[in-house]
Structure 1
Amino acid sequence: MKDCLIIEGGHPLNGRVRVSGAKNAGLVLLVASTLADGETILDNMPRIRDVEVMVQILNELGVNARWNEDGSLSICPPPAGSMKVKTSYELSKKLRASNLLLGALLGREREAVISLPGGCDIGSRPMDLHIKGIQALGAEVDIEHGFIYARSKTPSGARVYLDFPSVGATENIMMMASRTPGQSVIENAAKEPEIVDLANFLNSMGARIRGAGTDLIKVEGVPELKACRYAIIPDRIEAGTYMVGAAISGGDVQVENVIPTHLHPIVAKLQETGAIVEETDQGVRVRAGRQVLPVDIKTLPYPGFPTDMQSQMMALLSLAEGSSVIVENVFENRFQIVDELKRMGASIQVEGHTAVVRGVKTLFGARVKATDLRAGAGLILGALAARGETTIENAIHIFRGYENIEEKLIQLGARVKTK
């Protein structure tokens, strides 16, 4: 398995790139498909490692999930009552989103045994809010030997207040509530575009969900859902990564297949750095400015600046003419990229949740390691601007979340190869 990306710096990104379907929407829609009877077909599903792992998990549970010749993904669950309810440790440890099966299995089978999940090591992402939500809807929960055991014999709608607008907890509660009798209300719900996409998808199958995209979501439970065909939204983080790629490499890139409103927090910060960003009929065009200006960033839940774009912006700001301050408010381990960027010549100091980035004139090619998915993306961006050749080890993290990234970068003029 190829696990290294080798990038020769100094080649601006120019041209057009088409953004794939959203990883975080695709994963939850894949799981939500099991709530319906019949064959669901999902279009615009990214063929990335995380999706492949989720397909494997579903097939282990007795679901027939398979790729079609046209690139779509078909999901056909077994008859009600015959789906397995226990996820394997071996597969779950590879994928944080495996925890989304908690709400889907409780909605469909009234029982779930979920291995505590893995994924990127970017900090603790506890399951307490997920568990609080399903318990409010009537589930009994035990945690033993690394598994969550949940059963809901007589589920009923309820009001749930989330202490933090957790995306995963909001999704799990929505999925269980969609097949739970009565009305459920989620207060302080996450507002991310992926939440709206899940609500639209469930509604297209016959669910009754209102308020997605606001902090108050109401779900009227229905006895059954019917399969449908649905296209996943574009990946705003992939789009943002190529947008920063244009700015850091001195290039000019037209990013296509995007929903511009989803990109507003990224666009605003890129413009502050001096990049020229404009909406076009095809998507968003980004041209590098004459210099990179320093900016301050605080990551926040949507519609704030996304934590998933923090590493990429850190790479850009490491070349700014001045000092920038980045405050990470979502995940405590999201600064693991710092030591790797410093190997390339960046000047960054971290204290707690705050990083001070003092811009340098040049980054230099080095041997570095992707510690997580978005850190890997940030290292690619640093490598594009660096003098000389950069080897990024542990690139498997990057392939988990970016479809055909090597091909797309080459198409834009980058010098990239894998080994």
Structure 2
Amino acid sequence: MDRIAITGGAQLNGTIPVSGAKNSAIKLMAASLLTDEPLRLTNMPRLADTRFLGKLLTRLGVQVTESDGPDGQQTLLHAPEITSGFAPYDLVRQMRASFNVLGPLVARSGQAKVSLPGGCTIGARPVDLHLQALEALGAKIDLHEGYVYAQAPRGLKGAEITFPIVSVGATEHAMLAAVLADGVTVIHNAACEPELADLQDCLNAMGAKVEGAGTPTITITGVTRLKGATHAVIPDRIEMGTYAVAAAMAGGEVRLTNARPGLIDALLDKLKEAGAGVEPTADGVIIRRNGHRLDSVDIETAPFPGFATDLQAQFMALMTTAKGESRIRETIFENRFMHAPELMRLGADISVSGGEARVRGVERLEGAEVMATDLRASVSLVIAGLVARGETTVSRIYHLDRGFERLEEKLGACGAQVRRIKGDGEPEL
């Protein structure tokens, strides 16, 4: 099992290019099931999650080809026919988002058998809203022995779908299914994250008729078939925010390129409030800190455009050495403070009560052995290690490999002393 070792104390100075968005790429890959023509995705990240989904799509009949093209890293996906409508547990359990192949399979071929994704370390995240949306579109749903059997032999039908709570995954799933439904589908209380707008742009390039993504109401006029297309994945706002926090933590000056700072305004506002320098550029943003100690700042996670839950752990790491006390409220997922005990192993002063953590800034962190508990928590420990005295070793970094591309290379190019220690093998997720 690989580990990452960080020797703290080096400032970050240089340029970090932001990769394509993981959370968008994996849903765009699922869209390839909707057409018998090739879908070319550019600005594609190379991650464990995209690799896992590629393996599942191949099983279903998609030809998946990765290459370096004139627009950078790209993935060509081509499903001339669906050769299987069965997504087994041993593949779906490795990544929850792979459950979203269910809707496209039913929309195109009329039936599918997909495993329920199982539990999640940061909360239950049930798929009931996904299934309710598909039922509203006319699919017959049966649950048996951990699998979802979905059928719509006469095709899906447009419908009014109202989500009782905002769900990014369920909104994306409903969009993927409704584009081939007969009639008009209106999704109410839809998630507004930018990944939804990216999915809309890709689907429309394929010939779909989708309007309103990025707002609470999405309208989809179904079409009989989709065609192939080329689409560039949006920059990863979580990766962008992570490196912004890392620069503020370590000090120095880092230019983030291929980035859209407007996607993380909530974070950038908090960084400025804490005392970091933030300067938007033509293709990204510059983050500066001249060595002075940051001020404590309170945050509360919220759906977009609020403070992203996927940046909460990173910001907590930043606050561990800030002046004063900060309060961090998590409103999206339960069990998402599991990184706090690991940060405390580095000397952080944190107390957790329910959905709130209090972080009392300390003068200095000390290097130690720590363990990643989920994708975003793993990188928060790397961020803390950038300033901890001595060496910090982070184990179970297969979590990190799911969502951060070439992290050691990107940080190392800016002066961080970070290296990967190869293990004997990688565990299954």
TM-score of the superposed pair, with normalisation by structure 2: 0.95
Structure 1: runs of 5+ lacking an equivalent: none
Aligned partner of 1:107 in structure 2 is: 107
Match of 2:94 in 1: 94
With over 3 angstroms needed to count, the CA separation of the structure-2 counterparts of 1:119 and 1:75, relative to structure 1, is farther
Kindly state the Cα deviation for residue 281 of structure 1 after the two structures are TM-superposed: 2.1
1:386-397 to 2 correspondences below 5 Å? 386-397=388-399
The letter for the 1-side match of 2:400 is: I
Q: Which residue of 2 aligns with 1:244?
A: 245
Task: Give the secondary structure class of the aligned counterpart of 2:386.
Answer: helix
User: Can you give the 5+ residue segments of structure 2 that lack an aligned partner in the other structure?
Assistant: 422-429
CA contact (8 A) 1:120 1:372 kept: no
> Are 2:378 and 1:376 aligned?
yes
Match of 1:267 in 2: 268
Conserved? CA contact 2:260–2:283, under 8 Å: no
What letter corresponds to residue 231 of structure 2 in structure 1? Y
Identity value in percent: 46
**1:68 to partner: Cα distance:** 2.1
Instruction: Give the distance between the partners of 1:305 and 1:153, measured in 2 at CA.
Output: 42
1:19 aligned partner: 18
Counterpart mapping for 1:190-269 below 5 A? 190-269=191-270
Q: How far did 1:412 drift?
A: 0.9
2-structure distance, mates of 1:254, 1:147? 46
1:311 corresponds, among 310, 313, 332, to 313
Instruction: Give the Cα separation in 2 of the matches to 1:237 and 1:118.
Output: 24
Distance of 1:299 and 1:180 partners within structure 2: 35
The corresponding residue for 1:47 is 46
Tell me the distance in 2 between the aligned counterparts of 1:371 and 1:114.
27
Runs of 4+ in 1 over 4 A off after TM superposition: none
The residue that corresponds to 2:387 in the other structure is 385
Residue in 1 that maps onto 2:190: 189
SS in 1 for 2:86: coil
Equivalent residue number for residue 5 of structure 2: 6
Q: Structure 2 matches for 1:309-388, cutoff 5 A?
A: 309-388=311-390
Per the alignment, residue 294 of structure 1 pairs with 296
Letter in 1 for 2:45: P
Cα shift at 1:143: 1.5
Cα displacement (A) at 1:119: 8.1
Give yes or no for contact 1:191–1:302 (8 Å, CA) kept in 2.
Answer: yes
- The answer on whether the counterparts of 1:343 and 1:366 sit within 8 Å (CA) in structure 2 is yes
- Residue in structure 1 matched with residue 426 of structure 2 by the alignment: none
User: Are residue 151 (structure 1) and residue 155 (structure 2) matched?
Assistant: no
Shift of 1:37: 2.2
- The Cα shift of 1:9 comes to 0.4
Closer, same or farther: CA 113–320 of 1 in aligned 2, 3 Å: same
Q: Distance in 2 between matches of 1:412 and 1:164?
A: 41
User: Aligned partner of 1:46: which letter?
Assistant: P
Structure 1 residues 271-305: Cα deviation after superposition (integer angstroms, max 9, x where no partner): 11111101012310000262211111111111111
The answer on whether the counterparts of 2:4 and 2:394 sit within 8 Å (CA) in structure 1 is yes
AA partner of residue 190 (structure 1): A
Q: 1:179 is paired with a residue of what secondary structure?
A: coil
Match of 2:424 in 1: none
Query: Which range moves more in the overlay, 285-294 or 54-63?
Result: 285-294
In 1, the alpha carbon distance for the partners of 2:302 and 2:6 equals 31
SS at match of 1:142: strand
**Total equivalences in the alignment:** 416
Look up the SS of the partner of 2:185 in the other structure.
strand
Deviations 1:173-225 (A, max 9, x none): 00110000000000000000100000000000000001111000000000000
Contact in 2 for aligned 1:122/1:332 (Cα 8 Å): yes
**C-alpha displacement of 1:166:** 0.5
Provide the rounded CA distance (Å) in 2 between the counterparts of 1:282 and 1:181.
41
**Letter matched to residue 178 of structure 2:** A
- Distance apart, 1:109 and its partner CA: 1.4
C-alpha separation in 2, matches of 1:104 and 1:165: 21
- Residue 260 of structure 1, CA deviation: 2.0
Shift of 1:118: 5.1
Q: Tell me by how many angstroms 1:111 deviates.
A: 1.3
Q: Separation in 2 of the partners of 1:148 and 1:251?
A: 51
- How far is the alpha carbon of 1:78 from its aligned partner? 2.9
Superposed, 1:62-81 pairs within 5 Å as 62-70=61-69, 71-79=73-81
Per-residue CA deviations over 1:359-406 (Å, capped at 9, x if unaligned) read 111111000000001000100100001111000000111011001111
Contact 1:95/1:118 (CA < 8 Å) preserved in 2? Answer: no
- The answer to whether the 8 Å contact 2:35/2:80 transfers is no
- Distance in 1 (CA, whole Å) between partners of 2:37 and 2:119 is 30
Secondary structure class of the residue paired with 2:334: coil
Once the two structures are superposed, what CA deviation does each residue of 1:129-187 show, in whole Å capped at 9, x if it has no partner?
11111110001111111111111234211101111110110011001100000000000
Query: Is this contact kept in 2: 1:120–1:373, CA < 8 A?
Result: no
* TM-score where L is the length of structure 1: 0.97
In 1, Cα distance between the equivalents of 2:169 and 2:59? 22
Q: Kindly indicate whether the alpha-carbon contact (under 8 Å) linking 2:61 and 2:83 is maintained by their aligned counterparts in 1.
A: yes
Tell me, yes or no, if the aligned pair for 1:298 and 1:305 is still in contact at 8 Å.
Answer: yes
- Cα deviations across residues 15-66 of structure 1 (Å, max 9, x unaligned)? 1000000000000000012212211111011001000000000011121112
Aligned to 2:172, what secondary structure does the other structure show?
helix
Counterpart code for 2:117: P
When residues 200 and 282 of structure 1 are mapped into structure 2, their CA distance, relative to the original with a 3 A threshold, is: closer
Q: Indicate conservation of the 8 Å contact 2:17/2:258, yes or no.
A: yes
Q: Within 1, Cα distance between the matches of 2:112 and 2:10?
A: 50
